[in-house]
Amino acid sequence: MTTENNLSENEEKKNPNEVSQETSENTVSHDAHPHEDDAEHLEEHEEVEISLADALKEMEKLINAPNAGENSKRFIQLKEKASHHIHDEVEDKKHEFAETGNAAETFSYEHPLQAKFSALVNIFREKHDEFQKGQEEEQKKNLEHRQNIIERLKNLYTNSEPGVNLFKSIREIKEEWSKAGQVAKSEFKILNNNYFHHLNQFYQMLDLNKEFLEQEYSHNLEKRQHIIARAQELENEPVIQKALNELQYLHKLWKEEAEPVAEEFREKTWEEFKEISNKIHERKSELSASIEKEQTANLEKKSQIIAEIKKLSEPSETPNHNYWQNAIKRVEDLRSDFLKTGSVPRKLSNQNWNDFKTTLRGFNTTKNNYYKSLKGSQQANLEEKLKLIQTAQDNQGNEEWDISVPLFKKLQEDWKKIGHVPKSMTNKIWDEFRDACNAFFNNYREKSNTSTDNWKENYKNKKILLDELKLVSNDEGSIEKIEAIKTAWNNIGKVPRDKIAINSEFNKTLREKLKINKINELELKEEGLSENQLTDKARKIKNQISDLEAEIVKLENNLAFFNKPSRENPLLRDTYNTIDEKKAHLETLKQNLHSIIAGE
């Protein structure tokens, strides 16, 4: 429908009352339409802080959506959020860098997600340009189509042939006009005025056919009444913003499609619609109050989060490592809650965000200072353990058992009592200490058991086991046979020095049999291992568990780069199978490690 502000000049001169009505409709108070500022304010109110990872994930989702370019507004919002997060995190790194005594001007750091962010922005820019070109082409076609419709309308009242059903023809033209696509904004006003000019000319021509004109007026009045009825329903809409948005749409319908009605209904219907609109707009104060109440609640919640982080930064008692590890997890949860909480009053938004970032930095500074202080004590612990290693190495060949055995037991007890050392040295010094202790106790057992060990008998028994192992295939039950042979081997003592090569031959054969049975040595269930052997096996299993977990994470991260990764995708099927195999292997290793630790 359209208002009478589209009447032709001839009709304005012909009917002064209609001109007056045009003025009244064309000078509707701006308050009768939802303000753009209100809409922007609502969008800002609904927008919540999101994490960098979530922002990048949604940006990627928008890029992969059909007609990605039409999501420009949302993409720009996400881009600004992501850029803000990257900038803040870089500033945090710079702050930490300067805190350690470094010159700020020497700081250099590239955020690990900067490359992905830049790539997403560039890809979207290309898609948006492509979308814009498509829109321009589509608008050109729509413009030509609408111009053709106008030409048909013009011919309908200037060159219509006898026998033409005017009622059916005008209905078809109006229906086709309502369904025609969008055109460029610069073209729309002239095009729309042109259409309604010829439509009014058509109605003037219908003065010769009063019956048809009355039918048209009646049909158009129904359209206006339908708009008014829907506006009345919006008076009771509980969500005021929804009512304002739909009212704006109804005004657009009235302005662009409110076709002429009989003179006695023109001012009446418009006044009724305008009055309802004003009532709905009076409810905007409800929206403002609701938003203010919600934003005040959000501010209180965010302030509580900031206060809790600040409290964690200032523990009442001297904190230890466990305290800070738990505090780090809690702060991460609080940070996530802060980002998920909605907006706060605009005048306090920047201050609230700055307080949050300052408090986070304060927490990190206090936490970092604690771990810096630990480095001093760890260095002292390292020096103590190095002394123990030196003592163990100096005495590993000592065969005065009454003195040396208690000494080594004391060394092992003292080792356990000393605290942490720098992580980079942990494995190295443990290996050195363990090797010295093993050398001593192996020598002690060897010398203590020489008189009773029947080394030749041991060799004979090991030779039998080796021959049995060589006969093992990959049939059902082969793994159990290997485990039984390995357990029996572990329980046999030493062999003569000139026969010691049997150990290497056994290990080589064992690796071959494990390979054909597709099982890792660390997965074997075996008994009879010494304390040192158990410790060594546990260490190897831990290392392999760490390697497997890293491989699984890497494979799963690779899948994340695909849009909607699925097992049904032939390109990804092998990757999913590999992940399943590695997870099964990982679970077996964990069970074996648990058995060793539990002494099962």
Query: Tens-of-pLDDT digits for all 600 residues of the chain?
Result: 333 333 233 333 333 333 233 333 333 333 334 344 444 444 444 455 678 888 888 888 888 887 777 778 888 888 888 888 888 888 877 777 776 667 777 778 888 888 888 888 888 888 888 888 888 888 888 888 888 988 888 887 777 666 677 778 888 888 888 888 888 888 888 888 888 888 888 877 766 566 667 777 788 888 888 888 888 888 787 777 788 888 888 887 787 666 677 778 878 888 888 888 888 787 777 777 777 888 888 888 888 988 888 888 888 777 777 888 888 888 888 888 888 888 888 888 888 888 888 888 888 888 877 777 766 677 788 888 898 889 988 888 887 877 888 888 888 888 888 877 777 788 888 888 889 899 888 888 777 665 445 778 888 888 888 888 888 888 888 888 888 888 888 788 777 778 888 888 888 888 888 888 887 777 777 666 667 777 777 787 788 788 888 888 888 777 777 767 777 777 777 888 888 887 887 787 787 777 766 655
Length of the chain: 600
* DSSP 8-state code for residue 108: -
Rounded distance between C-alpha atoms, residue 569 and residue 56, angstroms = 24
Alpha carbon distance 104, 526 (integer Å): 58
Q: Cα–Cα distance between 160 and 173 in angstroms, integer?
A: 14
- Note the Cα 326 to chain centre separation in Å: 24
**Helix runs in 396-477, H state only:** 401-417, 423-449, 455-470
Could you give the CA distance from residue 509 to residue 520 in angstroms, rounded to a whole number? 14
> Please, what's the largest Cα pairwise distance for the chain?
135
Q: Which residues of 158-167 are buried (b: 16+ CB within 10 A; e: fewer)?
A: eeeeeeeebe
d(CA 169, CA 260): 18
Q: State the DSSP code for 209.
A: -
Provide the CB-side half-sphere exposure for 163 (13 A, CA).
Answer: 0
Q: Taking the CB of residue 65, how many other CB atoms lie within 10 A of it?
A: 12
Classify burial at 227, counting beta carbons within 10 Å of its beta carbon; exposed 0-12, middle 13-18, buried 19 or more: buried
Determine how many CB atoms are found less than 10 A away from the CB of residue 450.
10
Residue 568, C-beta contacts closer than 8 angstroms, at least 6 positions apart: none
Would you kindly state where each structural domain of the chain is located, as residue ranges?
49-95+108-207, 209-345, 529-599
Residue 501 · residue 568 · CB < 8 Å: no
Question: How far is C-alpha 133 from the chain's CA centre?
Answer: 31
* 324 contacts: CB under 8 Å, gap ≥ 6: 367, 370, 371
* Residue type for position 219: H
How crowded is the C-beta side of 67, counted as CA atoms within 13 Å? 5
Is the full-model pTM beyond 0.85? no
309, two tokens: 């982080």
Through-space distance between the first and last CA atoms of the chain, rounded to whole angstroms: 85
Helix %, strand %, coil % of the chain (to 5): 80, 0, 20
Distance of alpha carbon 338 from alpha carbon 301, whole angstroms: 8
